[in-house]
Each structure stands twice: as C-alpha cells, then as structure tokens.
Amino acid sequence: EAALRRGAAGPLTGVPVAYKDLYATRGVRTTAGSALLADWVPDHDATCVARLARAGVVMLGKLITHEFAFGIQFPGHRFRPARNPWNAAHIPGGSSSGSGAALAAGLVAGSLGSDTGGSIRGPAAFCGVVGLKPTYGRASRAGVVTLSWTLDHTGPMARTVEDVALLLGALAGHDPADPASSRAPVADYTAGLGQPVRGLRIGVPRDYFHDGLDPEVARAFEEALAALRGLGALVEDVEIPHIWDAWAFMAIMLAEAFAYHERDLRERPGLYGEVLREKMLAGALVSASEYVQAQRLRARLAGAMAAVLRRVDVLATPTTPKPAPTFATVHDPDFPFARSNMAPFNMSGLPALALPCGFSASGLPLSLQLAGRPFDETTVLRVGHAYEQATAWHRRRPPLTPLTGAIP
C-alpha cells in the first residue's frame, strides 16, 4: 500500500511469493534441506529473489526442499515432509515439494522452484498447479544452491499460466553472475496469451513418453489433445529419434552432483543424510569416459528434438506417467521413475510447462506437459493458456483439513 501511495508500484507489487529453500535470501536462513547448511544466513539475495523484490513481490518465507534438491520423497529427512494437499497420504513430488504444496494449499500466489530433471514440473503435476522450466539460461541460477551445473534450471510456479507468465517476465534476462545466462531478448510473456492457437502444430511423441502410462493419465491426455484440436490446433504424432538417450541424464547429474559436493562429502560426510550420501557417492563411480559419452548422447538428443521442432510448434506429453504415489508406495519398483517424461527437456534445455489436465478417480491431479523451441516460452505459454481457458481444471481446489496423527 505504501508503494502504491508513492506511485512506486512494480508489476507484481503486493503479490505473496515464497522460495524453495535453495535460493539465497539475505538475512533469512537458507538450508537446502541439509544439516550441512543448517545455520547459513546469506548476506545476499539470489538474482531471481532480487529481481522479484524489485518487481514488488512480498516474500512470505522459504519452502521445504528435498536435501540438496535430490529426490521426490523424504527418506530420513531432517525436516517434516511436505504433504500433498489433495491427499496427505500422497507425496507432493520433488524436489520443489514445498513450492507445489504451498500453491495448491493457497498459502502463496506464486513460488520459485528449481528443475534438474523435473523438480518444478513434477510437484506442479502432483499438486495440480502450473510450473514452468524455462529455456536453459533464461532465468539466472546465481545464488541458488547447485545440484548439476549443466542440468539445473530455475523457474516460476503459480496456479495459472498467466501468473507464471507474469513471474517469468520479472525473472528473465541476462545475469553476468551466472556463466550459463543467455543474452537472448526477453519477450513480453503475457502479451500473446490471448492469441488463438488455430493453425499451430502440436507434435505428440508416443515412444518413451507413453511407456508405462497409467490408463487414467492416458485418458486425460487424449482428452487434452481433443480440447486443443477443438481450439483449432493441428495435432499430429511425431517421432523423436534417439529419445531413449535421455537416460544418459542420470550419469551427467550424478557426476556433476558429486563434483560439486566432493569436498564436503570427504570432510563432513556425517552431515549428509544416509540416502543422499549414497546417491552422491555413486557419482564418483561415473568415469570421465562415461561422462563424455553421456554428454555426446545429450547433444545427439538435443539435435533430434530441434529437428522435430522445426516441423511443429510445440510438443505435448503427459507430465508424469502416473498420479502421485503414497508415501508408503513411492519405493515400489512398479512405480516408474517420475521424472522420465521430464528429463528430456533438461537434457535439451528446451522450455517445458506443466499444467492441470484432469483428476484420477481417487481425486489426484493429472498433468499436461507442453514444450517448445529454445527461448520460445511465448508460444508454450500461449498454448497452455488457451487450453487452460477452455477447461476448468485449474479452478479446482483441494478440500483442506487439519493434519492429525503421525507423519509418515
């Protein structure tokens, strides 16, 4: 109100936002979910935090993350786990678990997450909100605790595509403090939201993305495609050569995570959770040859995806192959790796948006993923907004009740 009276209001003045606890926040403890950083109070803001502050947002606090942003559930976590607002017995996804859960619960209007292999889009999918992994280099990572130098992305989450577009507009832009930051021009991401999608070409890759697909997810996805056809979009199946190269993602992430944490793993291993420590140490077993070969496969996949996106404007897939599992069953080997549909877009660096497209019979959110050409977030958001306006999934809210009993 004071800013409004002074005529100093920014585009997001007064909007309540919270940050995944990887983002440095000046004077506010930042732990990355780890005992290693339990007492770290930064003397600076991450670039994304500073940019949103200049745009006028009000920071409500920090949001729980899996330890060092590695995982989708909480074995032995030092903090109480985030719960899925749609059903507290189910996980909210990860690693931006608090960012998704807080939005679905109505605690904030926007949040920031990070996405190395799906950590924005997975929680958005499981919690029934909207999450965007922008193009690699579009939003700064300076001041955000690293998991993987070449796979990490920062990005916004909100309850609508329009709100995500507003947040991205404040976040995007070159930052010399991030070596991967791009100088590509920043668009007005809200300007094209109302444009029709008639005539836009939407490619549907079936191989890989539909492997192990739950029937309810498949049904919701086909209904989403039908809705896009009804809006005049041209939907066609496409094939992405070398799509299974996406699994080289794991070798890259493990090797880079170990490289980042090597000194602390050697000197203070007891400050890492046991499960995370084992995952990190696995990165030491990735040889230089294996890492180079993984990066070669990555480049081949990125080239194949770029070729497909010269024929279509946007790719559409289910965000996750199944709805959110329960805490009790997330270790079940029959539950597919929830990031499998998302990691290809970290490997290629392409922008990818997750948004609600239905609910399971048990009331759990289902999600549509849209991906586009490098730095063409405008088209991805345009298609997402058109679909959102033609449906009502984003208007549904979970029936919140007080938590009782033990937390799993």
Select which of 20, 62, 279, 322 is catalytic: 20
Residue 112 has, within 13 A of its CA and on its CB side, a CA count of 36
Rounded to 10 deg, the angle between the 249-267 and 274-282 helix axes is: 120
Select which of 97, 114, 119, 182 is catalytic: 119
Q: Is 133 a catalytic residue?
A: no
Q: What is the token pair recorded at 173?
A: 């832009």
Q: Is 111 a catalytic residue?
A: no
DSSP code string of 179-211: TT---PPPP-TTTTTTS--TT-EEEEE-TTTTT
Q: Is 95 a catalytic residue?
A: yes
d(CA 316, CA 231): 15
Please report the beta strands in 21-93, taking only residues with DSSP state E, as ranges in sequence order.
Answer: 58-63
Closest CA to 99 of 70, 76, 138, 66: 66
Closest CA to 164 of 385, 386, 390: 385
Place of tokens 């899996």: 66
DSSP code string of 150-187: TT-EEEEEESSHHHHHHHHHHHBS--TTSTT---PPPP
Give the helix/strand (H/E) hosting 252.
Answer: helix 249-267
Residue 42 has, within 13 A of its CA and on its CB side, a CA count of 19
- In three-state secondary structure terms, 94 is coil
Select which of 34, 95, 97, 111 is catalytic: 95
Residues known to be catalytic: 20, 95, 119
